[in-house]
Structure 1
Amino acid sequence: MPSTPTDRPTTPPTLWAARGRHAGPDADDVLRHHVRRLKDDEVLDDFLEPPVAEGAPERIFEARWRVPGEVTVRARLTLVPVAGDGSEWTLVAEAEQPWDQSWPSPATLFWPDTPDAAWDQEAATGLPFRDLNLLPSDDKAIRRLFKDAVRGWAVHVVVHEAMTTDERGRRPLTRLLPPGLRHRVVEHRAAPDQLRVVNWALRGLGVEVPRGGAVVLPGHPVPPGYEDGDFCVRSVFLDGSEPTELIETVTRYAALPKPLPDGLEEALTALREQWQLLTLEEELARERSLVAMYAEALEAMTRSRDLYREAAERANEALAAYREAVPDPAPDSSPGAPAGSPLQQLTRTFERFKGSTRALRPARSEGDGEDPPGTSGHEVS
């Protein structure tokens, strides 16, 4: 089984997060209509569509509501168009205390909870959350599907049918999960004759599904505490009854402290640091915080200025004391006293040396010419 990286921060227990796709156009209009209706019905305390930079493709929606116990939840949904027809959405919600899976799903507080909803598709695989998904017939396609599944944000469960089921056995098991998990779990259903192929495809993940049972895929990176067998259910009865053991296993896996998957840290930071849907009390607290920050900065600047002035005064005092102790020498006014830079003094020395050598050279008369070759310049007697 792949080892778990230790350099990623852990998902906070107060967090609920999901990524999905909306098939078709007008996803932003669907969102606006739904959140306005929930605000009018007082399901939401408030919502806001913050402005984005001109030309930016994404749309942002913020909403705030309260769950039982008067716990406030703040949520931010980002909607980005994708190639073709549709949009990808990222939803991050954070509560004032650890998340309870019995609370309403944040997805249904942004999107309409209807059977034919176009938004109900998991981002990594494109499969619906609230329906069972039959595995493809091709072996390599199954392997690719599982590889994509563990790299997403959702919890993926593989269920094997020990025998061909009737209509009751083909009902999705995710509908029986707590509300907070119904839009975070994807169910994959393997036919009776696919057991060997499925376990071959799962070999790279270090897990396998029992005959007539189920397994929760480990995710990527693998969360600490996940061990082969701990999230495996030996048998699942597909007769319409509630699969209590499977529900407990999925809920337990969802509660594990997991490393943040790719992209979630940035989404959580945006929720916390770019939040704009403030109450009056929050706006007042933010302004007080800004005033305190500015006052602290001003105090630091004043303190720095005072320290600089004090250092300058001490430097001037030290300079005055030095001048009193060591008086300035009298200037040398003699003609030969060197002045200027050392280079200038050296240049002047060479000039004086050249002048003295010219004075020592014997003068010639105007009629004297050069000595002819081979003579010494003296007459021969």
Structure 2
Amino acid sequence: MSNSATDRATLPQTLWAARGRHTGPAPEEVLRRTLRRHKENGDVDDFAEPPVAEDATLRVFEARWRAGGTVTVRARLTLRAPEGRPQGHEWQLVAEAERPWDETWPSPATLFWPEDGTGEDGSWDHHATVAGLRLRQVNALPADDKEMRRRLRDAARGSWCVNVVVHEAMTPDEQGRLPLARLLPPGLRHRVVEHRAAPHQFRAVNWALKALGVEVPRGGAVLLPPDPAPEAFDGREHSVRSVFLDGTEPAELVAALRHFVTLPWPLPQGAGEALTDLRENWTLMTLQEELDRERRRVDVYAEALEAMTKSRDLYQQAAEQALEALAAYRDVPPAPAVPQQRPASRTPGALQQLTRTFERLKLTAKGQRPPAPQDPPETSADDASDTSSSAGSAAENGGPEAADGTDPSS
């Protein structure tokens, strides 16, 4: 999976998302009590706890309410038990509205968790991944420069929250040491982590922020981009030159926060899965929502049935064409057999040449017809007298053969 910001889907403007840790012993009981109280007060229309496996380490809570009296909001909180870590239960909360989120709407966190969030039940506003950070308090930066850089880097990496670094121009009074989150609109209040740098940490904090590509003005504030940040991000557009820590509303900082949260940021790691889980596994539905869901199911089944019918017709047509082709093939007379060629002789060269020569002589002898028999030539009188003279001379000379060719001694 790529870590590039451009490879992930953007955060919808209708989504409110946050996560943290609860340090108490029984956070599911705290959630049940809080949701039950809000339902009795009319703050939420209904809530539910979908069943899970008995041995599961996950608990799920759903709630539905109408923001501003008209806009339906569906929210889902998942609570996961710690796995070998004593830091407490981790929670993730996603809430999706029917239209873009309004910062004046109540914070979904305070509809699931108690507003104070402290006491014997523990607190729910601890940062999910960075130990020592709180969502609704001032988080002083470490004195060690390297530790400061590590904390800011870890806080920005894949964070579901908005991290703001505030530099104190001078040592504030008791009112100025209070968190700025209490002065923010409800929709932003529990999505902001405030990091506070002391006056003497000005150089150190900007050295720590150099890796993130931003810089905090002296006595001002800067918003940290998520890591990785989009290529078009400009830190100068999200820095505030002056933040007065006197208890008054930080108007410039609120304006920068408003602009910051409306940018098309990539979905943080895990937020996309949580949003999909909210949309696809939602169980707290009204009668109209159940009817709409069943209608969508009918449409899906109808489309699937139509696709199956078309596929069946195509298979049937192909089978018919195959049968026709087979019948036509059977009606065609068989083609004459092609004589099989004899393999070439592997006789050695001299013997092969001699064999060819005998075959030629044989063919030549067969091709010639024998000559017709001829009558013996007639012997003339002169020839006969010559023959008799020759025979007589031979007899007189005592030749072994007689004139007629027979042996006289026989």
**Which TM-score bucket, shorter chain as reference?**
0.7 to 0.9
Name the SS for the 2:7 alignment partner: coil
Q: Does the alignment pair 1:237 with 2:239?
A: no
Equivalent AA in structure 2 for residue 89 of structure 1: W
Q: Counterparts of 1:284-323 in structure 2 under 5 Å?
A: 284-323=291-330
Instruction: Give 1:123's aligned residue.
Output: 128
Distance 1:315 1:175, change over 3 A: same
Distance 1:322 1:106, change over 3 A: same
Q: 2:43–2:65: 8 Å Cα contact kept in structure 1?
A: yes
Cα distance in structure 2, aligned partners of 1:292 and 1:219: 41
Q: Counterparts of 1:188-207 in structure 2 under 5 Å?
A: 188-207=195-214
Equivalent AA in structure 2 for residue 106 of structure 1: P
Q: Does the alignment pair 1:154 with 2:164?
A: no
Distance 1:300 1:206, change over 3 A: closer
Instruction: Give 1:267's aligned residue.
Output: 274
Q: 1:221–1:261: 8 Å Cα contact kept in structure 2?
A: no
Cα distance in structure 2, aligned partners of 1:119 and 1:68: 26
Deviations 1:164-219 (A, max 9, x none): 11112112111111101110001111111111111111111121211111111112
Percent identity, aligned pairs only, is: 63
Equivalent AA in structure 2 for residue 137 of structure 1: A
Where do 5+ consecutive residues of structure 2 fail to align?
337-410
Cα distance in structure 1, aligned partners of 2:87 and 2:235: 40
Q: 1:103–1:179: 8 Å Cα contact kept in structure 2?
A: yes
Shift of 1:328: 10
Q: Counterparts of 1:134-153 in structure 2 under 5 Å?
A: 134-151=140-157, 152-153=159-160
Q: 1:211–1:234: 8 Å Cα contact kept in structure 2?
A: yes
Name the SS for the 2:288 alignment partner: helix
Distance 1:134 1:326, change over 3 A: same
- 27-36 or 107-116: which moved more? 107-116
Cα distance in structure 2, aligned partners of 1:124 and 1:300: 48
Q: Does the alignment pair 1:79 with 2:79?
A: yes
Deviations 1:151-174 (A, max 9, x none): 111111111111111112112111
Q: Counterparts of 1:42-191 in structure 2 under 5 Å?
A: 42-68=42-68, 70-82=70-82, 83-114=85-116, 116=118, 118-126=123-131, 127-151=133-157, 152-191=159-198
Name the SS for the 1:168 alignment partner: coil
Equivalent AA in structure 1 for residue 88 of structure 2: G
Q: 2:230–2:265: 8 Å Cα contact kept in structure 1?
A: yes
Q: 1:25–1:85: 8 Å Cα contact kept in structure 2?
A: no
Cα distance in structure 2, aligned partners of 1:256 and 1:96: 19
Cα distance in structure 2, aligned partners of 1:162 and 1:85: 34
Instruction: Give 2:40's aligned residue.
Output: 40
Deviations 1:33-77 (A, max 9, x none): 111121222211111111123421010111111111511111111
Distance 1:310 1:207, change over 3 A: closer
Equivalent AA in structure 1 for residue 152 of structure 2: F
Distance 1:76 1:115, change over 3 A: closer
Cα distance in structure 2, aligned partners of 1:78 and 1:267: 9
Cα distance in structure 1, aligned partners of 2:161 and 2:63: 22
Aligned residues: 328
CA RMSD of aligned residues (A): 2.1
TM-score normalized with structure 1 length:
0.81
Q: 2:17–2:95: 8 Å Cα contact kept in structure 1?
A: yes
Cα distance in structure 1, aligned partners of 2:171 and 2:148: 20
